[in-house]
Amino acid sequence: MFSKCGDEMERLQKVIANSGYCSRRKAEEEIKKGHVTVNGKIVVELGTKVEGTDVIEVNGTVIRKEEQKEYILFYKPREVITSVHDDKGRTTVLDYIDSKVRIYPVGRLDYDTTGLLLLTNDGELANLLMHPKTEIEKVYVAKVRGILTGTEINKLKNGIVIDGRKTSRAKVKVRKIDKKSQTSIIEITIHEGRNHQVKKMFEHVGHEVLKLKRERFAFLDLKGLHSGEYRYLSIKEIKKLYALVNK
């Protein structure tokens, strides 16, 4: 039975979001459109609460009741797909992780990009972390061809127009210059997650990215991990992530 009251129940849109199907806002839109059923009956009221035994469907897909949450920090190697499966048979991030629940990546890293990747079955937190408004800082270290000039560095800091839209301001620091090989190691901090963003930013100022690694996501880093290894986040770290996205 479902109801519009009762402390032992949970709001329908929260249960849908926690399942990982979509964000809470999107869940609310699906409810309003009449795309959600509980025990076979269409529900259009946002105040509806459900019990663990209720059968919830969104657009015909059965939504599972909230599983035990897992939060994993993974050091992604090169040539690994940031996906739960790959129709070409390539190695995915889930091939490295032993989990009994259905987890999925928070955002993505390119096939040839290494570094920090979060995986979870907490759909609500994942969507909040990926939302542009939360402005979660992501620190990348890029090995690029050539030596950047001061003008080029300032362009990266002030924003680059990619696909008709300017990127937000970035932090840029030169870590190392190798004049012999004509390469540079550059640290760049962004808070967006657009497709191939860092590579495109460097290409725009005339420098090909040879290697790219994400070293930090918010306050999380890769300390203590080698490529291909992972660890579970602590309760303190999880609470800190929630505090960041809800501030």
Query: Which residues carry out catalysis?
Result: 110
Q: Write the CB contacts of 241 (distance below 8 Å, at least 6 apart in sequence).
A: 125, 129, 218, 233
Report the Cα 176 to chain-centroid distance in Å. Answer: 29
Rounded-to-integer distance, Cα 149 and Cα 89, Å: 42
Per residue, the 3-state secondary structure of the chain, as one string, reads CCECCCCCCEEHHHHHHHCCCCCHHHHHHHHHCCCEEECCEECCCCCCEECCCCCEEECCEEECCCCCCCEEEEEECCCCECCCCCCCCCCEHHHHCCCCCCCEECCCCCCCCEEEEEEECCHHHHHHHHCHHHCCCEEEEEEEECCCCHHHHHHHHHCCEECCEECCCCEEEEEEEECCCCEEEEEEEECCCCCCHHHHHHHHCCCCEEEEEEEEECCEECCCCCCCCEEECCHHHHHHHHHHHHC
